[in-house]
């Protein structure tokens, strides 16, 4: 069975500081990995995704994540936080197509990012 653990339910950073949100996964086969962002009273938007190929993935709004198989991690980073980055972030895992995963995403519990001046 697949699972996702997000370390830290709340993260607070200063504007301009590095953002690091941690995600570890468990999967019996090479997974597909995702980061979604949720702004207040809105649905989830895809930030970035890893499927195959290059392990460093760049997404929208300056975010990136690195797939590290040996560490079963997919941490999300951004070099310089902006006030507009304050939101809740979800890491998710799924089986790749043709593995019967049917695009079922398994989500972590989420990390709420606060950015202060």
Partner 1 sequence: DAGITQSPRYKITETGRQVTLMCHQTWSHSYMFWYRQDLGHGLRLIYYSAAADITDKGEVPDGYVVSRSKTENFPLTLESATRSQTSVYFCATGPTNRGGTGELFFGEGSRLTVL
Binding interface with partner 1 (CB under 8 A): 4, 6, 9, 32, 34, 36, 41-46, 49, 51, 90, 94-98, 101-110
| 7 versus 44: smaller Cβ distance to partner 1 | 44
Nearest 10 degrees: CA dihedral of 31, 100, 47, 39? -120
Question: CB of 110: closest distance to partner 1 in angstroms?
Answer: 5
Q: Report the residue number, 62 or 96, with the smaller CB distance to partner 1.
A: 96
- Residues with Cβ within 8 Å of 103's Cβ and at least 6 positions away in sequence, in order, are 94, 97
């Amino acid at each position: 069975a697949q699972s996702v653990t997000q370390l830290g339910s709340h993260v607070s950073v200063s504007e301009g500081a590095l953002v690091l949100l941690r995600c570890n996964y468990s999967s019996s086969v090479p997974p597909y990995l995702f980061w979604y962002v949720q702004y207040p009273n809105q649905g989830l938007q895809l930030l970035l995704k890893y499927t195959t190929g290059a392990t460093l993935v760049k997404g929208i709004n300056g975010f990136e994540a690195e797939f590290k198989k040996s560490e079963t991690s997919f941490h999300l980073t951004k070099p310089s936080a902006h006030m507009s980055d304050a939101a809740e972030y979800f890491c998710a895992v799924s089986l790749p197509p043709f593995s019967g995963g049917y695009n079922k995403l398994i989500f972590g519990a989420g990390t709420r990012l606060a950015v202060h001046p």
